[in-house]
Amino acid sequence: MSDRDPAADELQTSRLSLRRPTEADIDAIFTIHHDPATCLHNPSDALTRRDEAEELYRRWNEQWQRHGYGYWVVRRHDRDQQLGFCGIKPMELQSQKVLNLFYRFATSAWGQGYAGEAATAVTAWASRHVPELPLIARVRPANTASQRVAIRAGLTRAEHLDDTGYDGYDWIYAAKLTN
Ligand SMILES: CC(C)(COP(=O)(O)OP(=O)(O)OC[C@H]1O[C@@H](n2cnc3c(N)ncnc32)[C@H](O)[C@@H]1OP(=O)(O)O)[C@@H](O)C(=O)NCCC(=O)NCCS
């Protein structure tokens, strides 16, 4: 798969559009990752300067070019404002290739079911288009909201894969059983 495949560029749910990021999303990438509340459990993801958001966008776009999928920008159908981001990234977990499920939303968008709705759509897309990679989510033990989103998307706890991540010990949720 490559960025020439248009199938992934836009996903739709009943309320949401998920679109491949463009440079026009850099301000939203910065605003959302600059809010201490959105990176409370994952401080290594926090951004302090706008040029860091430009660099993050560049990495997200490179992944889209290399794999044909990545992180999507989430909006309501009826509004232009970016609610947040949700997507998948190939990585290694305990020497096994996996797809990591990511979600981060603006605090103003929390509590309305958006993350669960977006993560469910991304999980379905991944199982159809990247079935060879087990889908996992790495969640800090105190991040109850993130755990609920993973469960809402159909993942279940996979304690045997728990591991130390960038910000400390992570609980692993998985869409498929892995060895
Ligand atoms: C995690 C996050 C994406 C959830 O977004 P959201 O849009 O508020 O989530 P939803 O409204 O879709 O809720 C999904 C589930 O989580 C639950 N939930 C949401 N916020 C919660 C909270 N603060 N405490 C407990 N449960 C919570 C909801 O009740 C719902 O549960 P249900 O499926 O049993 O009904 C959002 O809090 C966020 O962006 N946090 C910062 C970034 C982050 O931590 N990302 C995860 C990194 S691993």
Atom of ligand 1 nearest to the CA of 118: 12
| Distance from C-alpha of 88 to C-alpha of 117, rounded to nearest angstrom | 15
Tokens matching residue 39: 């990176």
Q: Which atom belonging to ligand 1 lies closest to the Cα atom of 151?
A: 33
Q: Give pLDDT tens digits along the chain (179 positions).
A: 544 355 678 999 999 999 999 999 999 999 999 999 999 999 999 999 999 999 999 999 999 999 999 999 999 999 999 999 999 999 999 999 999 999 999 999 999 999 999 999 999 999 999 999 999 999 999 999 999 999 999 999 999 999 999 999 999 999 965 44
Nearest atom in ligand 1 to the alpha carbon of residue 104 is: 39
Contact criterion met (CB below 8 Å) for 84 and 117: no
Q: What is the pTM of this model?
A: 0.95
**Distance between CA 177 and CA 135 in Å, rounded?**
9
Contact call for residues 75 and 81 (beta carbons, < 8 A): yes
- Ligand 1 pocket at CB < 6 A: 38, 41-42, 84, 103-105, 109-116, 139, 143-146, 148-149, 152
Ordered by where they begin, the domains of the chain are: 6-174 (3.40.630.30)
Q: Report whether 95 contacts 64 (CB < 8 A).
A: no
